[in-house]
């Protein structure tokens, strides 16, 4: 199976849109679509970014069968993955992963304040 086919399978198994994944990569949806249909080739940096985002080894994009992508054996560790989350939770994680470190710190501080009952 071609890597671009795996790319789409991994995205759909995680119930993400092309727009969401494109925003993680910092590219347009149409550019990302080109990767999924095999019209554009992904460089190593893009594949590594996707592997980190999905918490999968880079090899997941090259050589495992379609029916083993979501069996847990290929994931890097035992963390919760996007495919097990609600749409709202998944959307929040996608947004968090594309924030700058400063934005993440601000959000974490706000959440800490909320959990302590502060406003």
Residue range 3-115, CATH number: 1.10.260.40
Kindly compute the dihedral angle of the four CA atoms of residues 22, 27, 28, 31, in this order, to the nearest 10 degrees.
-90
Q: Output b/e per residue, 27-57; b: 16+ Cβ within 10 A.
A: beeeebbbbbeeebebeeebbeebbebbebe
Domain ranges for the chain: 3-115
pLDDT at 39: 92
**Cα–Cα distance between 14 and 8 in angstroms, integer?**
10
Q: What is the mean pLDDT of each run of 10 residues along the chain (119 residues)?
A: 82 89 92 92 88 85 54 47 68 78 89 77
Q: Residue 33: its pLDDT value, please?
A: 94
pLDDT of res. 22? 93
> The whole model's pTM is what?
0.60
Report pLDDT for 67. Answer: 41
pLDDT value of residue 51: 87
pLDDT for the residue numbered 59 = 82
């Amino acid at each position: 199976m071609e890597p671009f086919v795996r790319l789409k399978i991994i995205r759909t198994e995680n119930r993400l849109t092309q727009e969401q994944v494109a925003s993680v990569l910092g590219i347009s949806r149409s550019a990302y679509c080109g990767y999924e249909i095999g019209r554009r080739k992904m460089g190593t940096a893009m594949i590594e970014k996707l592997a980190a985002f999905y918490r999968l080894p880079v090899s997941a994009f090259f050589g495992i069968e379609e029916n083993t992508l979501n069996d847990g054996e290929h994931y890097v560790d035992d963390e919760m993955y996007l495919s097990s989350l609600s749409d709202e939770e998944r959307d929040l994680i996608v947004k968090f992963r594309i924030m700058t470190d400063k934005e993440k710190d601000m959000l974490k501080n706000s959440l800490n304040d909320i959990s302590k009952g502060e406003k």
